[in-house]
A and B are shown apart, each in its own frame.
Chain A
Amino acid sequence: MAAKTDLRRFTGFLPMTFVCLFLLYAPLIIVMVYSFNDSKSITNWGGLSLRWYEEVFWGVESAKFKAAALNSLSIAVVAAISATTIATMAATAMLRAGRFRGKSISFALINLPLMVPEIVTAVATLVFFSAIGFTTGYLTILLAHIVFCIPFAYLPIAARMQGIEDVYEQAAMDLYATRFETFRLILLPLMMPGIISGFLLAFIISLDDFIITNFVKGAGIETLPTAIFGSVKQGIKPNIMAISTLLLMVSVGFVTLSWLVGRMGQNKK
């Protein structure tokens, strides 16, 4: 910078950034640390131990948590795959198919799940399934999850597609590739980083959801967040902190993966 003082600098902005990061991370780090606490009381520090992780996997409540984790995982995988497929098709329509009827409203529709408050979606979905006489359970959770996963899958996919010039596709078509071949052999491989990011984000969003799941799950089925919420209602126990730490690691791992894949895509360009 040629100026005498750095115009980008404001007194106090750097400390504020650290305050921001501190506030964001402190609670998470503390829960992670205390999940290794040997003491039975969650407040006092009694030395390092893995006993609460043992408790999660082999303790009294382990069967409940395992079943819930299995439900969470299978729902997240199916919902993310469905949402990613739907979002990829939608992005192709929005960015590669010129004009068509209903295009202008489509964008709003795809983003609708982000605009309607979660609790309203939850109520609406519950009431709807009850009105059409659908028993709430695994399937209703899955359907609700696909809906709110779509915009999260769509955003990285559309962003990626926007960055790909259509010259490659034009070249393929000039060489007599059919439109389907062009899509499968040219567009899809180029889009892969976006699609993977979209899938991973949808997966985490599904894995994380509590409010909508809590409304549409019905009795007798739990996902990990609803099982954790049920336990916390009776007070925070150390095994909850262990299970939270595990879930936290999964989320952070997936986001990091999604970020790295997205970056990889950019560098190749």
Chain B
Amino acid sequence: MAGGVVEKSTSNTSTYAGLGVFMMLPAWAIIGFFLVLPVATMLIYSFLTKEFRGGVIWEFSLAAYDQFFFDRGLFGDDPARIEWTYILIFWRSIWQAGMATFFCLLVGFPTAWFIATRTGANKSVWLFLITIPYWVNLLIRTISMKFLIRDTGPLNEWLMASGLISDPIHIINTNFAVQLGLFYSYLPFMVLPIYASVERYNLAFSEAAADLYATQWTTLRLVILPAVKPGIIAGCILVFVPSMGAFLAPDLLGGAKNFMIGSLIEEQFKGNAGNWPFGAAVSMILLSMVLIVLTFYARQQGKEGAH
């Protein structure tokens, strides 16, 4: 049993005591130099002045954050009003990510439960089937989805050929297409942590509930769901966080009307509309939001652990 192996683990052995720092050094160096330092640089860039056609001028400025939150008119001398454009893009991203998370939970929970209650080798095969698509290139998966749901794509062709509809359903370039794309991109992230939680769930609780005349759905609601809550929360975060900053699904499936944060950031670094400090500022705001969600999650986990 996998669990037994882990329990017998010897994670505190010290065959190589004294060499810890030395062996950790490459990881610290690479991640520190090429991730931590870049994020710090990005923070600095968000407070610099923009250079037209990309790049920055090394002069302190709050213009990037000002542009995000305030509208000062065409010439910048009108009284400041709240700028809704970017807040709206953030709100849309949160909404889209939330809907995708909801769909993932709706499909992912029953799937995770079903797999976790299989026995023996079956279980790992089912689990493997769920994880395979995750390892397929996200770009290819998104292109596949786009191909499938186009107005003249196979889905509409079949539905029309079977006589269910007479005109193609217009899915592509709608909010729903983006939600579908995000759902499709991150579904395995929902299934896996819930699976891990359900696996630890003791069916004796369900038996006890059944003995006390609870129906199956009452048991699900009052016994099972609270017990596997940590897995559900973890799954929701793992889907929600990458969905919010996603670029490919909104870009390929959403079209120009369904702009999300990812595209807003990308636009600042490509082409002539580029504004690096603004792109850096939007990235900082996104990163802060993600860190808030993750901190909240870590505290929640800490509380669960304390009980």
Q: Mark A residues whose CB is within 8 Å of B.
A: 3, 5, 7-8, 10-14, 16-17, 19-21, 23-28, 30-31, 34, 42-43, 85-87, 89-90, 92-103, 106, 109-110, 112-113, 115-121, 123-128, 130-131, 143-144, 146-147, 150, 162-166, 169-170, 173, 179, 182-183, 187, 201, 204, 207-208, 210-211, 215, 225, 228-229, 232, 236, 240-241, 244, 247-248, 251-252, 254-256, 259, 263, 266, 269
Contact = CB atoms under 8 A, between A and B. Distances in A.
28 contacts: A3-B210, A16-B110, A16-B111, A17-B111, A21-B111, A21-B130, A24-B188, A28-B140, A28-B141, A86-B26, A89-B23, A89-B26, A96-B16, A103-B20, A106-B27, A109-B36, A116-B287, A118-B245, A119-B247, A146-B30, A163-B6, A201-B135, A208-B136, A208-B139, A210-B137, A215-B269, A236-B146, A244-B144
Q: Interface on chain B toward A: helix, strand, loop, or mixed SS?
A: helix
Interface stretch (B63-71, B72-80, B82-90, B151-159): B151-159
Nearest to B263: A119
A220 B55 CA distance: 19
Given A13-B114, A20-B107, A102 B27 contact: no
B5 A252 contact: no
A110 B248 contact: no
Nearest to B106: A16
A27 B143 CA distance: 9
Contacts of B30: 86, 143, 146-147, 150
A201 B35 CA distance: 20
A34 B147 contact: yes
Contacts of B135: 201, 204, 208, 251-252, 254-255
Contacts of B34: 125, 128, 143-144, 146-147
Given A16-B110, A169-B13, 10 more contacts: A109-B36, A119-B245, A120-B286, A123-B269, A124-B41, A126-B269, A147-B35, A165-B9, A169-B15, A211-B262
Contact of B143 (A31, A87, A255, A259): A31
Interface in B154-187: 154, 157, 183-184, 187
A117 B111 contact: no
Contact of B280 (A123, A179, A263): A123
A166 B108 CA distance: 38
**What 10 pairs across the A-B complex have the smallest Cβ distances?**
A100-B20, A98-B14, A128-B38, A117-B245, A97-B20, A27-B144, A16-B110, A124-B38, A8-B117, A93-B23
